[in-house]
Chain A
Amino acid sequence: GESVGLHLPTLSVQEGDNSIINCAYSNSASDYFIWYKQESGKGPQFIIDIRSNMDKRQGQRVTVLLNKTVKHLSLQIAATQPGDSAVYFCAENIDTGNQFYFGTGTSLTVIP
């Protein structure tokens, strides 16, 4: 079956440093990926997405990298700020519907 997992359950970074959050997925048929941010008491918030025909996509302070060869996804946050502290999930989708499979999540803590 499909599985999405994260390499590190927790990550602490100094304010201003860059953060890298990793995600491994197991289904080679997955063709659309999303990174979500979840703050305490809130629902997942969309950060950035990438389709399988791309290997990199940039947003505002965030970059997602996709390596289909090793089925690996990463989220890079530039100049991390205290407001970036949250749990980050990767989610994968297979082009047979809109069911997403979520990873367990990485808790990012930004140290002022």
Chain B
Amino acid sequence: GAVVSQHPSWVICKSGTSVKIECRSLDFQATTMFWYRQFPKQSLMLMATSNEGSKATYEQGVEKDKFLINHASLTLSTLTVTSAHPEDSSFYICSAAPPGAEQYFGPGTRLTVT
């Protein structure tokens, strides 16, 4: 199947700093990528839909100025958590779908804000 990677797999940052998470489709091009957030022992919640070459679409309740998404190419989308706070600590997962196929998920990035 198709492969989606994320980097880093785990990041610790101090409160007030920003952190960038990368999502790459390794063997296919994706015009659309999705960003999810998962708190411990909870389900995945869609944060935003990332579209190559255009602005991301954010779900209700997700602050677009806090969670900056850039889909600069057909194989890379980035999520930047700006001015991170401890409550932003979570597991962030991206997904992408090859043309005409189902979504594949990345391995996730665990963010811990101290």
Are A and B subunits of one complex?
no
Seen from chain B, the residues whose Cβ lies within 8 Å of a Cβ on chain A are none
Seen from chain A, the residues whose Cβ lies within 8 Å of a Cβ on chain B are none
